[in-house]
Structure 1
Amino acid sequence: MKRLFSALLLAPAIAGVAAGAANANGLSTEQLQKIDAVTPNGITSGQITSITELSDVKPTDWAYQALQSLVERYGCIVGYPDRTYRGSRPLSRYEFAAGLNACLDKVIEFAASKEDLDTLKRLTEEFQAELATLRGRVDSLEARVKELEATRFSTTTKLQGEVIFSLDAVANTAGNERNQDGAVSFGNRVSLNLNTSFTGKDLLLTRLRARNIETIQQRLSPGFNPSGSRLDYDGTGSPGVPNSANTFFLDKLLYRFPVGDVSFTVGTAGVQPQDYGLSDATFFSGPANTKAFKYVGAGVYADTRDADTAGVGFNWKASKNFSFQAGYINRNSADVSTVNSGGVFGFTPTGTGTNSWDVNAQVKYQTDNNKFRVALAYALRNGRYATDFGTTNAFQPFGATNYNSNNLALSLGWAISDAVTLSAGYGIGFVNEQGTNQNATVQNYAIGLTFPNLFADGNEFGVAAGQQPWVSSASNRSSEDTGSFGVETYYKFQVTDNISITPGIYVFNNTNGQQNGGTTYVPFLKTVFRF
């Protein structure tokens, strides 16, 4: 009886083949030869008894087991006279009819017992309700698939979204906030990513973004409002605009594709070194990055928060443990004021204060299990700012002019166990004012711990401390500052797979690197929705 059921199960598979061949017209001499080899009792001159007799069928073929069963168990499949099966060739309706007839003869042979047929009939009647239910489910699934195919947004593009609600405030012990009642803000940032893939390995990323979060920098008094005070998710909305007033703008546009072991990235809007894999080795890298580690390598890991950056870069995975990244960033891709400006390689004449570009490179090592990793990065910068974060002096040591700087960053991450990680980083930049002999040294450092899955899966506690980029020495002593030391702590509640709530606070003394700057406190409550 078991042999009977197995034989009957072949019918749907054969019917599927027939559907694929339904449009075949006419018979070739080759097809007639194959049909002539089939008789009601099986195969005559072309009869085979083992799948190994078919020279072009390999154990790695996806249908190997099915063919083996049809040949060796049921004896109703035959090859061509030259002992080949030619499984990739289309099948005509005539060939299918001949093969089906041979297999049905075997079914009749297996079902020769009236007892077997009676048993089959009884089982069919006994499970009639279940079979009808299953048939209805299949019909429902087919209808839903057709509906999805008819209404889906795109066959190549997926939408991913993120919404951040932020409740935050600013308080300064020396009264250096603009609103001394607390400068409380409740705002949002919305990001919509259109991820498009044409080959399954490439990515065309189009990001639309809107926000209305007032930056911490805006809420501190002039002269005491360093760029290093900003939240991780505030910033400019479009070139030169603190926030977009919840108007969507094109925040990022890039295309990434692989060539062997190398992944290339090219983009014309919002491109950062992280987009082509040039990110630090700490366990704070990414969306949950703390303030202290935003500072590490501030002259290397560009983060302008602007959409007017274009660039090109690559990430080469030289081995399982070593990788190398390099790239070029143009910070004025949106400037089309002259013929040669804008785009990836356009520029604005030096001296206007807007000609800005970076060339960066990094080598990174990680262990097989990624529990320890270290990265050494370098960047040559040319532009209005010596660094992307830090005190005002670190940002522009000698005022609004053009700078060249050579920057180095060393970072590491160590997962001491599944429950705790240690991260550390140090950065230094050697800055020169273009056209003069003025020079300065900018430094920064940070160290921190994370405790993944603390108290519950998905939750995380983190604490970090570090020095914002500050001018430690300068040819003009008036450009030096005292630095601003900061500490941050947070706890992320992973409410669901798509919702997290993170309360935290960061504090930094000597605001903007000034002894009379006071200590600034920034408590925040961040809620993130992802879909």
Structure 2
Amino acid sequence: MKLFHQLLVAPAALGLLAPVAANATELNINGVSDYAASGEQVTSITQFSDVYPTDWAYQALSNLIERYGCVAGYPNGTYRGNRAMTRFEAAALLNACLDRVTEVTDELKRLMKEFEKELAILKGRVDGLEARVGELEATQFSTTTKLKGKTTFVIGAVNGGGDDDAADAYNASYGATTFNYDQRLVLNTSFTGKDKLLTRLRTGNFTKGSNAFGGSGVNLTALDVATDSAGGGGANNNVIIDRLYYKFPVGNEFTVIAGAVARNTESIALWPSKYNKGGAKILDWTSLMGTSGVYNKETGQLIGAYWQQKVKKGDNNLSVSINYVADDKDGNNSNPNEGGFMTSNSEASIMAQLGYGGPRWGLAFGYRYGQCDSGNGLRRGTSFAKDNNWNNSCFDANGVRRGSSTNSYALNAYWAPEDPGFIPSISLGWGLNTVSSNDKVEGSPVTTQSWMAGLKWDDVFLKGNDLGFAVGQPTFATALKGGDTPYDGNYVFELYYNFQVTDNIAVTPALFYLSRPEGQDTQAFGNGRGYDGQFNVFGGLVQTTFKF
């Protein structure tokens, strides 16, 4: 009614406030009399012979007639829209419209009386809702920050097999069943609705040096969720900040990321795999799409950006990502001879990715340059391939500076069926890594490779449940300095079933098998019989995840 009143009162007020040009000497009494006494209500604008669709107020006049029925004309069928309104004419028009207002008001009163009980109930609910909203506003955590949590329990064990001496030695140190946890609390803060300041608190008891699922004994048994927050191999269960970064858009297609504790794999526009996206993550290596040389989870002081083409929802888009991250223990060191940000001793990684993908399929080419001593290096692989990253340290045994670096390349692709069923999504990855140094040791790897194929079935048995299977070869040596043939092959098999108990609770039993995780170093477990030594690891676990 407010809009109606404004439309109604405006012309009347203009007439009432008009200059005294409409005085008695100028007043056409006969015309006013005709106007006021017409008595016939106009129901269509077509009844006016002098109003045309080209008139600037045609639509407004039409709305007043059809919606409110309070526009009157002259008995001769004219409206005379260009004529100045006299005060008497304004009074006549106002009187006609007030009659319509009275009719509407009476109708509203009747309806209000008829629905009196329902309106009372509705008012009570609204009052209750306002009270609850007021209470929430008074006790809410923050107007800009949301808290998300993820708790993971892992119960399981590993068992070494193969040559008796090797298996017995491994099981004596790592064969016990363990019960571990990982706890993450994420604070997402937005100041504009499009930016994000992320702070993550994390704690866990996958103790380094003594827990197989933390990567002790054989690095390939490490789980994706494993964290040791003791800061020194103890069991102190300290709470640490393991993510702290700010992400904000620049224009419609660019995003910039800067953080004091950020990760390179979380600063790219496209994750080119379907294997455990939205499902479970078990082994750390399979969670990295089998190309851990590029996607090595380097974490520290980071700056990065990515461009992502804007397309319609559901369409594939092109993206380009690049980031620089200095290793966390070096990027905040003021001594340029030991660390610093963007220095020769930052132990930094520079990663770039060119991707093209969407919901159904996608592919990406990734590249990472690793500075000497770069923290995570090749991340996961055979013990032989990862042994000290084979001369990728910044200084030799005499403390002399040397040129050393790694170059890693990755090709990844995925495809998913339109409807979940018997056909799984397919994720493929292949990686190539080179280590350059001016004094490499004879027999050390100069080239390593890796590959993985992952299959994931959605909605298995019940909607929301996933079945995953992966096979591949983690980073293994394919060429040695001096031209010798490497014997570094090893296969990984992983199988999991993700049972979604509720929207917030998932239980995931999983099995994995490492055929030869020591690679060429297996000779150390083979009673001196050279490269024919046998050593494998079988693991089983139940992973329970709570999200809130």
TM-score range, shorter chain: 0.7 to 0.9
Does the Cα contact within 8 Å between 1:376 and 1:411 map onto a contact in 2? Answer: yes
Who is 1:484 aligned against? Answer: 490
1:418 and 2:424 correspond: no
Aligned to 1:142: 130
Unaligned runs of 5+ in 2: 19-35, 37-43, 46-50, 72-80, 83-93, 162-166, 312-316, 395-403, 526-533
Query: Aligned in 2, Cα 1:329/1:132: closer, same or farther, shift over 3 Å?
Result: same
Alignment equivalent of 1:251, drawn from 242, 247, 252? 242
Check the 8 A contact 2:350/2:369 in 1, yes or no: yes
Q: Which residue of 2 aligns with 1:296?
A: 290
Deviation at 1:241, TM superposition (A): 4.1
Residue in structure 1 matched with residue 357 of structure 2 by the alignment: 366
Match of 1:269 in 2: 261
Of 420-429 and 337-346, deviating more is 337-346
Instruction: Tell me if structure 1 keeps the 8 A contact 2:392–2:405.
Output: no
DSSP 3-state at the match of 2:267: helix
Distance 1:34 1:232 in 2: 78
Instruction: Tell me the equivalent position of 2:204.
Output: 211
**2-structure distance, mates of 1:461, 1:57:** 66
1:146 aligns to what SS in structure 2? helix
How far apart are the structure 1 equivalents of 2:483 and 2:211? Answer: 29
Question: Could you report, residue by residue, the CA deviation over 1:98-139 in whole angstroms, capped at 9, with x for unpaired residues?
Answer: xx999765321456xxxxx5x866654443222211110011
After TM superposition, give the deviation of residue 433 of structure 1 in Å: 2.8
For the residue of structure 1 that corresponds to 2:191, the secondary structure is coil
Aligned to 2:537: 520
- Give the letter for the 2:191 counterpart: F
Instruction: Please report how far the alpha carbon of residue 275 of structure 1 lies from its aligned counterpart in structure 2 after TM superposition.
Output: 2.6
Is the 2:282–2:510 Cα contact (8 Å) retained in structure 1?
A: no
Q: For 1:56 and 1:435, locate their aligned partners in 2 and report how far apart those are by CA, in whole Å.
A: 88
1:469 is aligned to: 475
1:55-454 aligned within 5 A? 72-74=66-68, 105-110=99-104, 117=106, 123-173=111-161, 174-177=167-170, 179=172, 182-214=175-207, 218-219=210-211, 225-237=217-229, 241=232, 245-259=236-250, 260-277=252-269, 279-285=271-277, 288-291=280-283, 292-293=285-286, 294=288, 296-304=290-298, 309-318=300-309, 320=311, 321-332=317-328, 336-340=332-336, 345-347=341-343, 350=345, 355-366=346-357, 370-384=359-373, 386-395=377-386, 396-398=388-390, 401-402=393-394, 403-419=404-420, 420-433=424-437, 436=440, 440-454=446-460
Distance 1:366 1:276, change over 3 A: closer
1:288 to partner: Cα distance:
3.0
- Distance in 1 (CA, whole Å) between partners of 2:237 and 2:54 is 70
> How far apart, CA to CA, are the structure 2 residues paired with 1:275 and 1:394?
27
Report the CA distance shift for 1:465/1:392 in structure 2 as closer, same or farther (over 3 A): same
Q: Deviations over 1:270-320 (max 9, x none)?
A: 32232333533443357734535336221111224x6xx121122212364
Distance 1:72 1:417, change over 3 A: closer
- Verify the 8 A CA contact 2:158 2:175 in the aligned structure 1: yes
Question: 1:311 and 1:203, CA in 2 relative to 1: closer, same or farther beyond 3 A?
Answer: same
1:232 Cα offset (Å): 0.9
**CA distance change for structure 1 residues 272 and 397 in 2, over 3 Å: closer, same or farther?**
closer
Identity %: 32
Change (3 A) 1:482 1:163: same
Query: Matched residues in 1 for 2:337 and 2:130: separation?
Result: 54
What one-letter code is carried by the residue in structure 2 that aligns with 1:410?
L
Change (3 A) 1:381 1:76: farther
List gaps (5 residues or longer) in structure 1.
Answer: 1-9, 18-28, 42-47, 59-63, 84-99, 112-116
User: What is the CA distance between 1:373 and its match in structure 2?
Assistant: 1.0
Question: Partner of 2:75 in structure 1?
Answer: none
Query: CA offset at residue 410 of structure 1?
Result: 0.6
Number of the residue aligned with 2:546 = 529
Partner of residue 514, structure 2: 508
Cα pair 1:295 1:390 within 8 Å, conserved:
no
In 1: Cα distance, 2:226 partner to 2:170 partner: 18
Q: In the comparison of the two structures, how many residue pairs are matched?
A: 456
Contact 1:397 1:471 in 2 (8 A): no
Q: 1:56 to 1:526 in 2, by over 3 A?
A: farther
Question: Counterpart of 1:144 in 2: which secondary structure?
Answer: helix
Is contact 2:274-2:425 (8 Å) kept? no
TM-score normalised to the size of structure 2?
0.72
Q: Say if 1:172 and 1:521, in contact at 8 Å, map to a contact too.
A: yes
Structure 1 residues 486 and 125, CA gap change in structure 2 (3 angstroms) = same
Q: Tell me the CA shift for residue 327 of structure 1.
A: 1.3
Q: Deviation string for 1:480-500 (max 9, x for gaps)?
A: 552321100000011111111
Q: What CA deviation, in whole Å up to 9, does each residue of 1:130-178 have, x standing for no partner?
A: 2211110011111111111222111111111111111121211112435
The answer on whether the counterparts of 1:176 and 1:518 sit within 8 Å (CA) in structure 2 is no
The amino acid of 2:412's aligned partner reads S
SS at match of 2:379: coil
How far apart are 1:256 and its partner, in Å?
A: 1.0
**SS of the residue 2:247 aligns to:** strand
One-letter code aligned to 2:355? K
Equivalent pair of 2:391/2:437 in contact (CA under 8 Å) = no
SS at match of 1:405: strand
Q: State the SS of the aligned residue for 1:519.
A: strand
Change (3 A) 1:122 1:200: closer
Contact 2:216-2:222 within 8 A present in 1 as well? no
Task: Sort the Cα spacing of 1:124 and 1:33 in 2 relative to 1 into closer, same or farther, 3 A.
Answer: closer
- Aligned-pair CA distance for 1:249: 0.9
How many Å separate the matches in 2 of 1:341 and 1:132? Answer: 76
C-alpha RMSD of matched pairs (Å): 4.1
Tell whether the 8 Å contact from 1:460 to 1:491 is kept in structure 2 after alignment: yes
Residues 129, 449 of structure 1: CA spacing in aligned structure 2 closer, same or farther, 3 A cutoff? same
